[in-house]
Chain A
Amino acid sequence: MDNNMGHNEVKPDSVNETDISIQYMKRNVKRDITEKIVETIFLLCALVGVLSVTAIIFFVFYKGIRPFTGEDAYSIKDFLTGTKWAPSENIYGIFYMITASVLSTAGAILVGVPIGVLTAVFISEIAPEGLVKIVKPAIEILAGIPSVLYGAFGLGVVVPLIMKITPEVQGQSLLAVIIVLSIMILPTIVSLSESSIRAVPKKYREASLGLGASKIQTIFQVVLPAAKSGILSATVLGIGRAIGETMAVMMIAGNPTAGMPESIWSMVRPLTTNIAMEMSYASGRQSEMLFATGVVLFIFIMLVNITLIKLTSKAGEK
């Protein structure tokens, strides 16, 4: 650094002027090369993310599409519309799993989003300072709890409670999954909704209040509509989390090998748990079918991701 910063020591009428400038030029060349190399290293690191996504998509799809090609190809239609999963009989149907994933996610959104948004309203609009200091950290801790512990909670609290009221013999059910998933998406919904509510300009509220609207009316007819896109992003992110959740769900879903869910009391087997349950010992066709399950899950996730990126970039443009 010191060498490079010594420009002002150069005296114009020095005898060695040319020598010195050549020396500096050399140094500059060396410096430029170092800078260029370093920049390339930085760029390579930044490309690791791109490479990872590409590799993940390539490998999961490559392995997941294989069972449907070649000589003893499995019918894609049977795969997507079947309601029985029996690897030992070479039957792989995942329609009941897709249904389970969609139903449990929809249920979680239906329960989690209203509670989450209202909690966000509470934090940002009506709670006194003291209460904010309790609710906000609580949400941060809720966000940090590992999914396995949500599973423990589901298994130890939710499932036994459902046991008491269910007409079925077991407590593991769609309802248990919905309850636990709605809790798990709460932190996402609350924190994103809260920041988008806070971003609504004060003027809006003042104008509404000035026109004689009550505080609650202002919140629901002015603030929330203005924060709509943020809340929508929060919901989409919540969908992504709910549909991708694995470990907590695995412990409370019941994971039957066949059958469409008939009511909220039925056992379900979402796509994620199908993969996690059998991956450790699966091989050959069964393993490929698990990857195929992964592909279906991935398509759902990509839809969610793209929607989300579109939503957030739209909000950014505003």
Chain B
Amino acid sequence: MLSRQAKDTIVKGLIYFSAASTVGILAVILGFIIIKGLPGLSIDFLTRDYEDNTTYVYSELLETQEGNSTEGYSERLGITLDFDEENGLVIAEIDKDSPVRNALDGNDEKYTVKKGDILTRIGDLRIDREFKELDSKDEKAAAEFVQKAIDEIDAVKEDSVRLRVVRIGGGIVPMAVTTIYMIILSLMIAGPVGILSAVYLNEYARPGKIMTTIHFAIKNLAGIPSIIYGLFGSLFFVQILKMQYSLLAGALTISIILLPTIIATTEETLKSIPKTYRESSLGLGATKLQTISRVILPNALPGILVAVLLSIGRIVGESAALLLTAGTVAQIPHALFGNSASGATLTIKAYTLMKEENDLTSACAIGIVLLVIIIAINVASKLITNKFLKKKGI
């Protein structure tokens, strides 16, 4: 038999090993996502649309003044063109008074051409075809390629020219916007319902059948996995209520998922407000409603805020339920429900990138964004808890 001391040392070693592996695993996960995702992360990734966007625009042309001959500068459009090995002719600089800033698209609506856009066609000159035939290693040919485009602009006799502009995608803007929409919409639904439920449970309900039933239901809700919520949402909201894959179907499904968190967190806060607050308010002649709206809720605000933050974290991280209710299209939803209301959140896109396009780098780049959000939420809710709840000695 081992001596007691030896046994204790072994067990202690095991305890240290467990704690170390918990922290180590987190470090490995974070490290993996950051190392894998960092090459995919860039300003373009964060600010661009997901799909490439091709638009025909009409731009007026300025009068030519002879003499200015900086390389790659087109006087008539007031832009500097450059050669890009991947995409061809890129707009590198746009003058302040350049007419392309006020270009019109096919529907006569204003389309502002931006720095970084690619020109694939000027008038009848198919730049994309020229680019295909070009040997991109040949610097001289590249310069000639740019000059040819400028000459083509200069040669236009009318006072406007038709350009085909491609705005390169590859960014996550639509998913970020969808995520924000989803957060706002879900909180608008689940927030009031959850908070009022908690108020009812803590301030009105007397122990009895109703209260037990509600608590039982909420505890059960908390235990249901999100795939079941997704199944329900896809049947009830998407099919029966005919919302199709949409923002609203997703938000309603998520709202149910959020309810237990919001109710439990708010209830906890309400419970921590001393009874004397209520008694003083009621004693001063205030009604129950007045007591709730002017004494209880203001005091519960930090706790409610924490509930909201936790909910945001949950929405940002949610995937299985949204996959079955909001769809996987990389676009900004144009409506709440119906045909063009579908949209993928950041998390869903990270998943489809991995699963369907085998693009672990972009998925991890989104992962970095998600991690930043989640850590920020973590820190914020901790600050609130420390600042407001602890100070009061609650």
Q: Report if A141-B374 is in contact (Cβ < 8 Å); known contacts: A34-B289, A49-B221, A53-B221.
A: yes
- Residues of A126-174 at the interface with B, using a CB-CB cut-off of 8 Å, are 126-127, 131, 134-135, 137-142, 144-153, 155-157
Interface window among B77-85, B108-116, B152-160, B317-325: B317-325
| Contact between B350 and A149, CB atoms less than 8 A apart | yes
| Contact between A244 and B12, CB atoms less than 8 A apart | no
The docked-state distance in angstroms from the alpha carbon of A157 to that of B32 is 8
Tell yes or no: B277 within 8 A of A by CB.
Answer: no
- Tell me which residues across on chain A come within 8 A of B232, comparing CB atoms: 55-56, 59-60
Q: Contact partner of B214 among A46, A63, A139, CB < 8 A?
A: A46
Q: Contact partner of A63 among B16, B204, B235, B354, CB < 8 A?
A: B235
| Contact between B374 and A49, CB atoms less than 8 A apart | no
- Tell me which residues across on chain A come within 8 A of B200, comparing CB atoms: 39, 42-43, 45-46
Shortest B212–chain A CB gap in Å is: 10
- Residues of A37-58 at the interface with B, using a CB-CB cut-off of 8 Å, are 38-39, 41-43, 45-50, 52-56
Total contacting residues, chain B, CB less than 8 A: 92
| Contact between B227 and A275, CB atoms less than 8 A apart | yes
Shortest B84–chain A CB gap in Å is: 31
Tell yes or no: B347 within 8 A of A by CB.
Answer: yes
Interface window among A18-26, A197-205, A257-265, A291-299: A291-299
| Contact between A279 and B216, CB atoms less than 8 A apart | no
Tell yes or no: B290 within 8 A of A by CB.
Answer: yes
Q: Report if A146-B23 is in contact (Cβ < 8 Å); known contacts: A5-B285, A280-B324.
A: no
Q: Contact partner of A50 among B7, B217, B350, CB < 8 A?
A: B217
The docked-state distance in angstroms from the alpha carbon of A45 to that of B204 is 13
| Contact between A216 and B7, CB atoms less than 8 A apart | yes
- Tell me which residues across on chain A come within 8 A of B286, comparing CB atoms: 1, 5
Contact residues of A with B, CB < 8 Å? 1, 4-5, 7, 31, 34-35, 38-39, 41-43, 45-50, 52-56, 59-60, 63, 114-116, 118-119, 121-123, 126-127, 131, 134-135, 137-142, 144-153, 155-157, 183, 186, 190, 214-217, 220, 237, 240-241, 243-247, 250-251, 272, 275-276, 279-280, 290-291, 294, 297-298, 301-302, 304-305, 308-309
Contact residues of B with A, CB < 8 Å? 4-5, 7-8, 11-12, 14-19, 21-23, 25-26, 28-30, 32-33, 36, 192-194, 196-197, 199-201, 203-205, 210, 213-214, 216-221, 223-232, 234-236, 256, 259-260, 263, 284-290, 313, 316-320, 323-324, 328, 347-348, 350-351, 354-355, 360, 363-364, 367, 370-371, 374-375, 377-378
Q: What are 19 residue pairs bridging A and B, where the CB atoms are less than 8 Å apart in the complex?
A: A5-B286, A42-B197, A43-B200, A45-B192, A127-B19, A141-B375, A146-B316, A146-B317, A147-B317, A148-B319, A149-B350, A152-B350, A156-B364, A183-B25, A220-B11, A244-B228, A246-B320, A280-B324, A301-B223
